[in-house]
Chains A and B, each alone.
Chain A
Amino acid sequence: MTDVLARRTLRQTAEPAAIDAVHEELDGLWDDASFVPELDRMTFATAVIEAASNVVQHAVPETATPVELGVDISATSVRLEALVSAFGAACPDPLDGDAPMPDGEAESGRGLALIRALVTTVTFKRQDGTNTWTLSKSPLHD
């Protein structure tokens, strides 16, 4: 397995301020992974922010404890990967994996379709009260 060359993680209450923190972790990742081309940074960062925003906007607490957002982003020489987690969240409604991009009048509903357009794979796992989306992008461009 290819070595992880850069990694950043955060875990904090899933509230809007957490999105700025995710941006900062992404900037930090690129500081340590300067080999990642600009286009890959742009697409991957956009997908990660979309997924994190989805947790902040839509995750429902399973108990009285607020949901926490977790982000674990890493880079190898050939692959970018993000684990975006909702800790303490109820199981979400089933996602329509093939949901099309809404038409021009719609003001919402583009997040998942956008993520799918930006990364190579998207997977979802529910385990121990945590919902985790894994986004990966590979191979990196020259």
Chain B
Amino acid sequence: MDLSYKVNDSYAEISAAGRLNMVSAPKLREMVAEVVAAGSARIVLNLEETAFMDSSGLGALIGCLKAARQAGGDLRIAAVQPQVQMVLGLTSMDKVLTSYPSAAEAFGND
């Protein structure tokens, strides 16, 4: 999985391309910790190029959500693809992790 981030005016956007699984989940946790430590707790995770996620990846998303909220911010997900949406739905985590059509819309109204 390739991870990259950029900091905008009101949020940081992390892009994740590839498979979010037991191999890449720790790398995502590290990157979110790094972004939060740098002062950006409002984070959008752009999943447009994330074709696959398993329960390890989902666990990382939840850990990252907690890290962002503990720092006074939030983590939102955007451009969710069908397989990832399926995993979120089957685990009822779609109620906890709200998804937005695009990264720009995730913090669009606040």
Contacts and interface: CB of A to CB of B under 8 A. Distances in A.
B22 A108 contact: no
A65 to B, nearest CB: 22
A interface bracket (residues with beta carbon within 8 Å of B): 20 to 34
A19 B20 CA distance: 12
Nearest to B56: A53
B62 A107 contact: yes
Given A110-B91, A114-B87, A16 B55 contact: no
B90 A117 contact: yes
Interface in A43-68: 43, 45-46, 49-50, 53, 56-57
Contacts, number: 65
B37 interface: no
Contacts of A19: 21-23
Interface in A104-123: 104-108, 110-111, 113-114, 117-118
Interface residues of B, number: 24
Given A46-B83, A53-B54, A114-B90, A104 B95 contact: yes
Contacts of B82: 42
Given A49-B54, A107-B59, 11 more contacts: A42-B86, A46-B86, A53-B21, A104-B92, A104-B95, A107-B60, A107-B63, A108-B55, A108-B59, A110-B55, A113-B91
